Amino acid sequence: MITTKQRSKLKSLANTLKPIVTVGKDELSENILKEIEVALYHRELVKVASLKSCQTSAREMCDLVCDKLGCEPVLCIGNRFVVYKRSDKDGIEHIEL
């Protein structure tokens, strides 16, 4: 569980991020979850956007992604959400909380 101060720092870092994964009308399939998982492994902080044709809200998708992948929700506004998970990959610059 991340604290409020840590979440605030992650929000400021997420401001400059562009969405890495886009969810379309097919909702959250296993392929999308795998794509988010790979992005979390390489970057630790991932912004996801959903198209207007998507039936599920960003909040519901964020909760589902966090349950399935064991990551932390950072931000959910409109049709976008940001998740964080500490990576154990060597050779990347880890986000210091």
Q: Taking all residues of the chain, what is their mean pLDDT, rounded to a whole number?
A: 93
Write down the pTM of the prediction: 0.92
Given a cut of 90, whether residue 48 has pLDDT beyond it is yes
> pLDDT tens for residues 74-83?
999 999 999 9
CA distances from 53 to 9, 20, 25, 57 (A): 31, 18, 5, 11
Task: Give 86's pLDDT tier (boundaries 50, 70, 90).
Answer: very high
Q: Tell me, what amino acid is at 46? A: V
Domains in the chain, start-ordered, CATH in brackets? 4-84 (3.30.110.60)
Given a cut of 90, whether residue 27 has pLDDT beyond it is no
> CA dihedral defined by 33, 34, 39, 41, rounded to 10 degrees?
120
pLDDT score recorded for residue 42: 94
73's enclosing H/E stretch is strand 72-77
pLDDT score recorded for residue 93: 86
